[in-house]
């Protein structure tokens, strides 16, 4: 399995309820899972735990079969684990291509190979090569989000985590970005947190989060 969460419990400090309770999930390379549920049910928390940004109180996170902790985050994020957030923090004055290749440059790749790989990823998410040289601040929201997907994939991660990647887009653009995400991420284990049923429906599998009712017995 590229990503496995085993019996994870997570609670924020000073909160009196678990956000994640005995949560388990396995995702293989080439597989996509949509983690779905309304706002406040723990999707972003799950993303934080799976992305080694939040330490669960108990349970384990395995990446490519190896148990990992938040101590491994700086080594794995941008490499074995790619992350796409709701709004992409592109560097506004750098070009689309530069933004996409940054993770490779910071991993020590030379500019030529980094540019070639970034160009390939941008093409996969449907960015026109004529736009590669544009400043990132000049592109549309949908394009910026696709740049974010390309940037997350440029390091060829085994696991791609996406948290509400289309939430800030209109429906039509969201669909284009969603399709780009699913097709470009087909060689990773994709975990997509979303409350959008249309987007979630594109995944191989849907996991509902936080649906156990608190008002049971009423
Ligand atoms: N940093 C935090 N400190 C305390 N509580 C938090 C924090 N972040 C989120 N929560 C709470 O944890 C629950 C799950 O939040 P979150 O994972 O953001 O849900 P979702 O992404 O599904 O909207 C919510 O009740 C939220 O208020
Ligand atoms: Mg969230």
CATH of the domain at 144: 3.40.50.300
Judged against a pLDDT cut of 60, whether residue 213 lies above it is answered with no
Q: Whose CA is nearest to atom 25 of ligand 1?
A: 40
Q: Does 54 reside within a domain?
A: no
Q: Structurally, how many domains does the chain consist of?
A: 1
What pLDDT was estimated at residue 218?
36
- Give the largest CA-CA distance in the chain: 64
Whether residue 159 lies inside any domain: the answer is: yes
How high is the pLDDT of residue 9?
Answer: 97
Q: How many angstroms does the Cα of residue 110 sit away from the middle of ligand 1?
A: 40
Q: What is the pTM of this model?
A: 0.93
Q: Is 44 in the pocket of ligand 1 (CB under 6 A)?
A: yes
| Domain boundaries, position 167 | 32-47+73-208
Whole-number CA gyration radius for the chain: 17
What is the β-pairing status of strands 32-36 and 66-68?
unpaired
**Ligand with minimal distance to 35 CA:** 1
The CA distance from 24 to 203, in Å, is 18
The pick from 37, 44, 56, 211 for probing ligand 1's pocket by mutation, whose C-beta has the most ligand atoms within 8 angstroms, reads 44
12 in contact with ligand 1, CB cutoff 6 A? yes
Handedness of CA 45, 50, 52, 57 (dihedral sign): positive
Which residue's alpha carbon is nearest to atom 24 within ligand 1? 40
Average pLDDT, the chain: 93
| Residue 217, pLDDT above cutoff 70 | no
Q: Is there a domain that residue 161 lies in?
A: yes
pLDDT in tens, 62-78: 999 999 999 999 999 98
- Cα–Cα distance, 132 to 118 (Å, whole number): 10
Q: How far, in Å, is the centroid of ligand 2 from the Cα of 86?
A: 9
Q: What tokens were used for 74? A: 């700086």
14 in a domain, yes or no?
A: no
Q: Quick one: pLDDT band at residue 212, thresholds 50, 70, 90?
A: low
In a domain, 24, yes or no: no
Contacts of 121 by beta carbon, 8 Å cutoff, 6+ apart: 100, 150, 151, 153, 154, 184
Indicate which atom in ligand 1 lies nearest the CA of residue 48: 17
Other C-beta atoms closer than 10 Å to the C-beta of 64 total: 16
Encoding tokens for residue 125? 């998410």
Residue 39 in any domain: the answer is yes
**Domain assignment present for 106:** yes
Structure tokens at 118: 């970034």
Cα(175) to centroid(ligand 1), Å: 26
Q: How far is the CA of 88 from the centre of ligand 1 (A)?
A: 20
Give yes or no for residue 194 CB within 6 A of ligand 1.
no
**Which pLDDT score, from 0 to 100, does residue 78 have?**
87
Residue 19 covered by a domain: no
Is the sign of the CA dihedral 48, 185, 64, 28 positive or negative? Answer: positive
């Amino acid at each position: 399995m590229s990503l496995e969460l085993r019996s994870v419990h997570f609670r924020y400090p000073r909160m009196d309820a678990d956000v994640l309770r005995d949560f388990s999930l396995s995702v293989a390379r080439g597989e996509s899972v949509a983690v779905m549920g309304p706002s406040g049910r723990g999707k972003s928390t799950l993303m934080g735990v799976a992305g080694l940004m939040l330490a669960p109180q108990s349970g384990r996170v395995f990446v490519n079969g190896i148990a990992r902790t938040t101590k491994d985050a700086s080594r794995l994020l941008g490499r074995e684990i790619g992350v796409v957030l709701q709004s992409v923090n592109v560097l506004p004055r750098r070009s689309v291509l530069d933004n996409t290749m940054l993770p490779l440059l910071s991993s020590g790749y030379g500019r030529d190979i980094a540019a070639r790989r970034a160009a390939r990823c941008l093409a996969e998410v449907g960015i026109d090569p004529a736009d590669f040289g544009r400043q990132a601040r000049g592109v549309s929201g949908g394009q910026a989000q696709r740049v974010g997907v390309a940037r997350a994939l440029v390091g060829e991660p085994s696991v791609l985590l996406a948290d509400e990647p289309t939430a800030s887009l209109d429906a039509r653009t969201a669909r284009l970005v969603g399709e780009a995400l699913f097709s470009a991420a087909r060689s990773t284990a994709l975990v997509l947190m979303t409350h959008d049923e249309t987007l979630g429906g594109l995944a191989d599998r849907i996991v509902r989060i936080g649906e156990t009712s608190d008002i049971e017995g009423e």
